[in-house]
Structures are given as C-alpha cells and as structure tokens.
Amino acid sequence: MKTVYDFTVRDRQGNDVSLADYQGKVLLIVNTATGCGFTPHYDPLEAMYKEYRDKGFEILDFPCNQFANQAPGSEDEIHEFCTMKFGTEFPQFGKIDVNGENADPLFAYLATEKPFEGFGKGIKNAALNKFADMNNKAFGDKAYIKWNFTKFLVDREGKVIARFEPTKDMDEVKAAVAAELSK
C-alpha cells in the first residue's frame, strides 16, 4: 500500500528530499501562497509547529501560484516573506503546481486519498467555491486542490487521515493534530 513516504519532493534549493525522512512523525502538508486571504493561516500554523514539533510533528509547506497568482515571487522571496512576516520555522519546499498536467505527484496522491468535500456552508464559502471552480476549470479532472492553504493530516505510518480546506477553523485543525499526536 502506498504512503506519503513513497514520494520524493524538491526543497527550495532544488535538491530531492525523500518523505521517508519523516517516517514516524505526524505531518500536516499544506499548499500555501503569500498574497492570499488565507495567508494569515501562517500564524496558527507556526504556533502549532512550535507547540508540537518536539512531540513528533512537522508541517511541510509547498508554495503554489496556481490560484489567482497569489504566490508570484521566487522561492527565496517567498521564504523571506514567511520568515520575516510570520516567523515560520517549519520546512518550506520548492514552489510547485498542485493541479493540472504538471501537478506534483504528492498532491495528486493526497487529493486522491482525501478528495474535496466542499468549503462548508455560508455566503463566503459559496463565493469561494464559485471563484475556485472558475479558476480550476482549466485543470479539468486534474483539479486536485481547490484553493491555497488546503491541509492534509498524515499519521505516523504515512497514511492520509484528514483533509482540511482553507475555510476550516484552525482550532479544529489543531485539535485533529493534537488527537493524532496523542495516539
């Protein structure tokens, strides 16, 4: 059975990194952007990382510019923005595509394991859904991720156990991480 440990990704310097290096840890894998309405998620993500990293938790950050060009900078510019503005210390990888023919295989796998189930109820969520559908029309059946800051929770065995859309309350994400860490 395939797990996230079967994937190799690229770090900010272009070097291959095997996700097997993270075996035995609880992971939160996130596609991010620096100019998005959800960019403030970096604050609770970094707080969660500081609180739980010594308990076997890692956040893996993958910048992506496929959603309304909200991560247009170079990998170094994005990293500098995140460390200066939000004090992020968790690993940030190379910029990737999460949708379409050039989608990173990791994100295609994550989204296949935990498909999109909606942004939730309410006017804002409905508006985001409409905007995301227009944005992702070009990707057809390869529109794996609907928007920036989609988060995937992975257990210590490398299995994808939850998907959180950017509209999910970060306290709920933190509670799920804490519950997984306590197992």
Model pLDDT for residues 49-86, shown as the tens digit of each residue: 999 999 999 999 999 999 999 999 999 999 999 999 99
**pLDDT reported for residue 43:** 97
Biggest alpha carbon distance in the chain? 42
Look at the pTM and tell me if it is higher than 0.85: yes
Active-site residue 82, yes or no?
no
* CB neighbours of residue 143 within 10 Å: 20
Q: Residue 45 is encoded by which pair of tokens?
A: 């993500």
For domain 4-181, the CATH architecture is 3-Layer(aba) Sandwich (3.40)
Calculated CA dihedral for residues 31, 146, 56, 183, nearest 10 degrees: 180
Catalytic residue among 30, 33, 36, 154: 36
DSSP state of 148: T
